Amino acid sequence: MTQHPGDWEEELDLDPELPAAPAEAHGGSFVFVAGPEAAGQRLDAYLAGLDDLGLSRSQVQRLIEEGRVAVGSAAAAATPRASYRLQEGDEIHVHVPEPEPLAVVPEEIPLNVIYEDRDILVVNKPRGMVVHPAPGNYSGTLVNALLHHCRDLSGINGVLRPGIVHRLDKETTGLLMVAKNDQAHQSLAHQIKERTVRREYVAVAHGHFASPSGTVDAPIGRHPVDRQRMAVEPRHGKHAVTHFWVRAAYRDPSQGPFSLVACRLETGRTHQIRVHLAYIGHPVACDPVYGPKRPAFPVQGQLLHARVLGFIHPRTGEGMEFEAPPPADMQAVIDRLEELRV
């Protein structure tokens, strides 16, 4: 972990499950021949770097595990491991299955749509809304709402889910961009991959920071004991970098010190901001997983909000940026703390 002063001028946000370009959205069979530059590379890393596939490394690894990747001639191809080291001239066969229908019904759920045109939506996700359907959450999700709101949406992760390009935790509020067609989906996914999407968060965090700004560079992976949590894992975690700067410091006589912090992501691991701030001793206030067991304020969920979202419009090429204020419960906490500013 490194922590140093200095502002961060650009936000870079990579989703760990990067949404698909053409391959994952439509399926199909692909053949690649490893050139001299590929010699010695891991198979999964090489395939994840191919724009023609548009798949994340974890998606490639899933295909390999399912036996959908082979190396060799069509007549004598063998199923390799993800760690296989390529040789020049290797013929790589990749089969991406067609997307499966989404077994989730449209629901007339109110959406706070900040912007919409024929290609994209920008929505302000409320606290408590799950983005993707999952066991125990097959209704009431953003996907259910989008299926009702839009009728022509792109696929993602092998399943026909309305063009979700990135995501927020259930109790994290704020801005999300949604693709309404495959062209927009591919463009926005590419922007995320190239780290040109601007996403800025604001959080109320415990304690006073030693430096007005800094960087947390610490790999994140599954907690070795509690698999529902993430943790800084130096040996097995994935590269993760969060940049932060302190906007205000407060001292609450009854609850102790707090800080208002802005964060930008250089990577986009699961729970990254929450894990990194807790790692340096400043967990997000009211975080039920990484913060104190007793919440500091009467809010159901962490005080973390995706405030700014900026990207290039996939059709017009115009730079677009949106901003949404924190939700009422979080703003009420900030207003109260402002009376206790240090």
Catalytic machinery residues: 169
- DSSP H/E element including 275: helix 272-279
CB hemisphere CA count around 189 (13 angstroms):
31
Whose CA is closest to 269, among 307, 228, 238?
238
**CA dist 124 to 7, 113, 176, 184, 250, Å?**
26, 6, 6, 19, 27
Q: Say how far apart CA 184 and CA 186 lie, in whole Å.
A: 5
Residue 336 neighbours by CB distance under 10 Å: 12
Q: Is 10 exposed, middle or buried (0-12, 13-18, 19+ CB in 10 A)?
A: exposed
Q: Say how far apart CA 63 and CA 69 lie, in whole Å.
A: 6
Whose CA is closest to 13, among 270, 274, 326, 313?
270
List phi, psi (to 5°) of 132.
-100, 140
Contact between residue 173 and residue 195 where contact means Cβ atoms under 8 Å apart: no
